[in-house]
Every structure is written in structure tokens, then in C-alpha cells.
Amino acid sequence: MSHWPKDVGILAIEAIFPAQYVDQEQLEQFDNVSAGKYTKGFGQAKMGFCTDREDINSLCLTVTSNLLRRYKIDKSTIGRLEVGTETLLDKSKSVKTVLMQLFEEEGYTDLEGIDSKNACYGGTAALLNSINWVESSAWDGRNALVVAGDIAVYPKGSARPTGGAGAIAMLVGPNAPLVLDRGVRSSHMQHSYDFYKPNPLSEYPTVDGQLSVRCYLSALDKCYQRYCAKAEKAFGIKQMSLDQLDAVLFHSPFCKLVRKSLARLVLNDFARLPLDTALSKYPPLSKFAGVKLEETYTDREVEKASIDSSEAVFQAKTAKTLRISNQVGNMYTPSLYGGLISHLISRSPSELAGTRIALFSFGSGLSSTMFSIKISSDGSAGSPLHRLCSQLGFINPMLERRIRVSPEDYTKVLADRERDHKLAPYTPTASIDALLPGTYYLTHVDDMYRRTYAVVPT
């Protein structure tokens, strides 16, 4: 290609969640913890979970199939397919190769891309790789398909309520209504054992919760500072701050951390702005003038002042992006993009048109990136932005039609999953009655660990 493709970004987006959930308030009572520990302490209302009928392959098959069908996508127009996940069924065979079943029967096998793995970050890696592919000399004019999916489960204990599951698929190409800003992405990569999965026989991670939060906030600081420096040059802005962003989205392990993260960006702005401007704009932070950010990660007084200073900004730019996270839980690699969907369904196309949103992606271990999206200025009826938003009308009804499961039954499902998830041969026993039409589900694992799937008729 002799020129940049125009307006490369997200053309379409699709999501799926488990058909059943556990209520976090009921889970508090079942776990005999203080009232509000999960609902107020974590900011979570409901948590989706999978039975033995769904695994990472079935989730990704379902969301990919739904995207192709809902948007009537010609499979011959897809030239790249990449999956981001940390939910591994096999140390060699990729989820992407399983998804090829949706293409190969029609002879479409010329698709670049493979799986990207890192805790909670693989979906962003797959998205950025696909954007880079469209903007590279390797691009052949076709679009890319990005799939992010995970099942987040934890052993009994304080981390279990921060689980969740789901998958999101995105179509990437030129002339998109959601355009990734070029030249302003900022990343921070570092070695850390804050969250990792060293035991291949277990789905459960090893977690250092306090370290993980510190890693998250430290990476956020660094990415935001670098993003602002790049944005000032790219956009011709003298002083980049939250004022230049219409919404800010975060990877959401749990909603309360996102609330603290937005406050953290206000603290960053306070530290970066001229002193007189900072003091007048954020009075609760006045006594922290000259504060060193790296010394404040466990300072509750600074955290409270930052939260007090950021309430209006949070309500205006971040609160509504937590709809899916609050209702489904932590989806790992799709989590940030659940926030994107939540943002898109919270406003009309005309309200979204012409706005800029920042997105912060974090994966333990650790990897992180901040980037921004400029939304098309045309939100009129029939425009690509209007069509994309209209196609997301199924999200709230899908959330509402899920089936609530008691904490006792939820706990049994996880105990059975812990016992059976590596068995071969194995035949799942959970009912498929709750699954939506078009949902792929596991039917059998044979004695060679080969998995077969069926689909609920549409």
C-alpha cells in the first residue's frame, strides 16, 4: 500500500455472557461475610459463570458466529483472525484454529493471526496487532476479526466474587465509526508475580492482591503520563488532561478499582497542572501539592482526597461504562471492551458523535497500554456509527433474561468444574435449556482430549 488506509478502527462489535449468574448480595450472605463486602467493597451486583457445557472454545465460537450473522459479514472479506485469551485448554492448539471451523467449510482458510496470551491483556494485543496489520504492507484490503474471551474462576475465599466470564468480537478495518488514534498509544511492560497461573492442572490463579492493585495503579500512572505527552504533540494541545477526553474506560477486575483508577488520573492531572490551576480545580488535594505519585499507592488519605476531587468527572466520564462489569463480573481479556459496549449503549449516536475516549488495558505479569478512540462525527440515521449502536440493542435484554442461580448451586458448579475440567473422556451433564439460540456448547471430550460441540438452533 502506498498510503495509509483511512480511519482504521472498529467497524462492528458483538458480546456474549453466560446464561446464568449468582447474585453478589446473596453470595455475601452465603459466604457469611459482612453485608456490602462484595456489592459496595468491590462494586459488583451480579457475576456470570459457566457450567460444564461452556468452555473458551464454545464462548469464542458463539460470539464469532453471532457477529458474522448479525452484521451479515461475507467471510471472504476477512483476512485476519486473532484471539486474545488466558483461558487455556491446550498448551499447543490455539482457539483460533477451533474457530476456523466457521470458515473452512466454505473454503476460506487464508486468514492470518493466532492466539495472544497474557492475563487480561490478550484481547488488546489482538486488537492492536489487527490495527497494525491493516496499516501495514501486509494488508490485502480485507478486514480483521478480533475475538477476546475468558472464564475467570477462583478458589473459595476473598477473590471468588471477582470472577466472571464472557467473550467479545470486533471487526477491524478502514472507514470505521470508532477510529483508533494514531501515534498516541503508550505502554508499560514490567516483570511482576502479582497474578499468574503456574499450575496447568488448575484453572485457579496464584494471586497477590495488594501487589496486583499496586501494579495496576503504577502502570496506569506511567501509561497516562506517556499518553498525555504523545497526545500534546499529536493533537497540538498545550496541556493534555481529562478535560480533553469525553470518556475514560478501564480494564475492570472489579468496579471499585475502576473508581479508584479514575481518581488516580485526577491525581495525575493535579500533579501535572500548573500549581495555581491545580489548587483551584481540585481543592481537596491542596495539601498534597508536590506529592510524589510513586509514594502514594497505599496512602488512604491521598486516595480519599482524589476520590472526593473526582466524583463529578467519574459520573460524567466513567460510571456508565461499568454497566456490564457490574452485572457480569471480570471477563479478563474482554473486560475493557465490555466497558466500550457499555459506553456505546449509554448514549445516543448523536451524543457519541465527534467525541474522544481513552481506554486503559492492564494485564498482570505485567502488560499495559493506554490508547484513544475518536468516534465518527456522523451519528445520523443510517450512518456507520448509528448502525453499530443500533446493533447493540440486544445487550440489555440479554442481561435481563439471564437466570439467577443460588449460591449453593453456583458453589456446586465450581466444585464440579474443579474436579472435572481436565477429565478425558468426559461428557458434560449440565442442562442446555438456559442457553440462547445460536449458543455453541460442549457435547463430549473423547479419550484423546478432542472436544466436540453442538449449537442451539436459531
CA-CA-CA-CA torsion sign (242, 244, 246, 251): negative
- Which residues belong to the active site? 86, 120, 251
Q: Residue 83 pairs with which residues in a beta bridge?
A: 115, 147
Q: Residue 16 pairs with which residues in a beta bridge?
A: 167
β pairing state of 186-189 and 367-375: antiparallel
Dihedral angle, C-alpha 260, 373, 369, 347, nearest 10 °: 30
Whether 9 and 373 have beta carbons less than 8 Å apart is answered as: yes
Q: Is 256 annotated as a binding residue?
A: yes
Q: What's the gap between Cα 348 and its chain centre?
A: 22
Length of the chain: 458
| Rg of the chain in Å (alpha carbons) | 22
Where b means 16+ CB within 10 Å and e means fewer, 191-204 reads: ebebbebeeeeebb
Q: Is 76 annotated as a binding residue?
A: no
State how far the Cα of 414 lies from the Cα of 410, in Å rounded to an integer: 6
Whether 399 and 18 have beta carbons less than 8 Å apart is answered as: no
Of 54, 25, 17, the C-alpha closest to 323 is 17
State how far the Cα of 102 lies from the Cα of 61, in Å rounded to an integer: 8
| Phi-psi category of residue 192: left, alpha or beta, with phi > 0 → left and psi -120 to 50 → alpha | beta
Q: Is 212 annotated as a binding residue?
A: yes
β pairing state of 367-375 and 356-363: antiparallel
Q: Residue 362 pairs with which residues in a beta bridge?
A: 368
Annotated binding-site residue numbers: 212, 256, 260
Annotated binding-site residue numbers for CoA: 212, 256, 260
